[in-house]
Copies of this chain bind each other. A is one copy, B any other.
Amino acid sequence: MTAPIMPKADAAELITAARIRQGLTWSDIAERIDAPVVWTVAALLGQHPVPAEKAAVVVEVLGLGEGVAESLTRQPMRVADDAAASDPTIYRFHEALAVYGPAIKELIHEEFGDGIMSAINFKVDVARRADPDGDRVVVTFDGKFLDYRW
């Protein structure tokens, strides 16, 4: 009863190991817990608290222990991982923001006025678009506009 809760990073490592060894994709797991796939991966990697019933399905599907489920349900501290930002697959998004971020800001203000795209009332999607010159990765950021309102 006095053991600490398993850190979310450890739970994520166990989930990843079981997922790979059982030949399951992230999409398979997302389907099993009936949740959007990006949300599912983010949550299982530790970025969202997972509802208890979904956590129970995850550990059952992957044959993991209750400690993993308990860890998944805990409220996370969402710490930015600066090291991960240097991974080339992730870095390209940061580079795109460096190049286009001020332009995106200009156009949000032009269309909506002074405010932001919420990153909380927010969803993101990753898709493949076939293209004769090479298929494309299409990532859609979709968040509610919030205007500066005193």
Residue from B17, B89, B126 within 8 A of A116 (CB atoms)? B89
Please state the number of chain copies in the assembly: 10
Q: How far is the CA of A13 from the CA of B122 in the complex (A)?
A: 30
Q: Which residues of A128-150 are within 8 A (CB) of B?
A: 128-129, 131, 133-150
Cβ of A63 to closest chain B Cβ, rounded Å: 6
Q: How far is the CA of A80 from the CA of B92 in the complex (A)?
A: 13
Let me know if A95 is at the binding interface, CB within 8 A.
yes
Let me know if A33 is at the binding interface, CB within 8 A.
no
30 example contacts (A-B, Cβ-Cβ < 8 A) are as follows: A2-B63, A4-B14, A26-B106, A47-B99, A47-B100, A47-B103, A48-B148, A78-B88, A79-B84, A79-B86, A79-B87, A81-B98, A85-B101, A88-B99, A88-B116, A89-B104, A89-B117, A90-B104, A95-B119, A96-B122, A104-B139, A111-B126, A111-B128, A112-B128, A121-B147, A123-B150, A128-B145, A134-B144, A136-B145, A137-B143
The answer to whether A106 and B41 touch across the interface, beta carbons within 8 angstroms, is yes
Residue tally, chain A, CB below 8 Å to B = 99
Q: How far is the CA of A17 from the CA of B16 in the complex (A)?
A: 24
